[in-house]
A = this chain, B = another copy of it.
């Protein structure tokens, strides 16, 4: 017995080392109802692993997911770096388990999309479910809260008050979500042993992993949505000067109102180099209270971002409820620059369309006001602006060799932009196209679009 345990320890450590060497994350969910022994299994796993690079993610009982952010926000933010290990108590099933105990139909939407992204990214996902009938769990909970001289937690209360059909509802939830390894909750030592065994098995199986192939999504529509846009639409200086202050005041009113309602707001800007994104963003925000918004300029991903699934850095930057984030470039870089320059593989940028649509549908379902801008200029207008930048000392830092290189690949970019607009112009998260050859026109149109999207104060 002692020898068998020692061998298991060695196998667990070897598994962890193998994933570290391969720079693959290990994500372990330990789920089940309160009282089933999740804490003992988590402690057995952390004890079996080398503690370096291992993190347990378990939120205090009173902190429900989705209180200040999207429901999945805290899980995304807690994802382990490649090569490291993240243990999650209940993981992203916490809310679904609560629902099942209360007799409500659990919401599994977005969870399988999340898991698909993790595994496509090379993570090894180990889902452990500790089986224990509700009556037994209730008995354990009663004796534990007595021993620990405390009130039951909300999760424990849910088990104590669970419907007679709770066990069936939980089984249905497990079946619907899939991929679970069952642990025997009736025997705590046994469950821990099974968990360690499952860890070694999962890593062994994962050694044959290869990135999934992905087909290009079917085209929607035939013509580019941009063909309907006249990039030369103009606005007179007099009209601009007259309209701007009132539009800015109205935005300030509506952003304060969104804050009071705890509604998050996201404005994102994509467009050709020198299309005037910065100028639009400045007009949108210059009358706003600095405590209500954050501008996020998106450049190449940092090392930390590269150690996570690609959407991670955007999840991190999402506004808290009642706040505004302005993305100066955004997650659409994945299907624009990363596609054209080959920074993402074909499989990666192809699956990105669906990942983006799922991400944005979560934003919208949470109540986020999402406005996506594409700033369209003609190559001729761009050339003029590049030349002006080159001649103006305090603007020279805005013009790089890369801008000239991108300009040489106008046609390649044009095709990716068309694909992007076609595949991500969804009912819930449509694009707003801005004719931007005239900066005044683009700015006033953007301000008006933002007002239209925000409920009045």
Contact = CB atoms under 8 A, between A and B. Distances in A.
Interface stretch (A122-130, A143-151, A228-236, A362-370): A143-151
Nearest to A321: B60
B304 A9 contact: no
Most buried by B among A38, A60, A295: A60
Contacts of A392: 6
A253 B150 contact: yes
A140 to B, nearest CB: 13
Interface stretch (A69-77, A278-286, A420-428): A278-286
B288 A39 contact: yes
A393 B14 CA distance: 11
6 contacts: A13-B394, A148-B256, A148-B457, A150-B253, A150-B257, A150-B260
A52 interface: yes
Task: Sort A-B residue pairs by CB-CB distance and give the 8 closest, nearest first.
Answer: A9-B394, A58-B291, A58-B290, A150-B256, A51-B297, A149-B457, A42-B290, A39-B290
Contacts of A43: 285-286, 290
Contacts of A407: none
A164 B339 CA distance: 62
A290 to B, nearest CB: 4
B56 A328 contact: no
Interface residues of A, number: 57
A185 interface: no
Question: How many chain copies?
Answer: 2
Interface string A298-313: 0100011000000000
A38 B303 CA distance: 34
A113 interface: no
A412 interface: no
A356 interface: no
A289 to B, nearest CB: 6
A51 B328 contact: yes
A282 B40 CA distance: 12
A435 interface: no
A323 interface: yes
Interface in A37-51: 38-39, 42-43, 46-47, 50-51
A61 B282 CA distance: 22
Given A39-B289, A149-B253, A150-B260, 18 more contacts: A6-B394, A9-B394, A10-B394, A17-B397, A39-B288, A42-B290, A51-B278, A51-B297, A51-B328, A52-B297, A56-B295, A147-B252, A147-B253, A149-B257, A150-B256, A151-B260, A303-B303, A304-B304
A252 B146 CA distance: 12
A89 interface: yes
B89 A290 contact: yes
A392 to B, nearest CB: 8
Contacts of A294: 55-56
A291 B47 contact: no
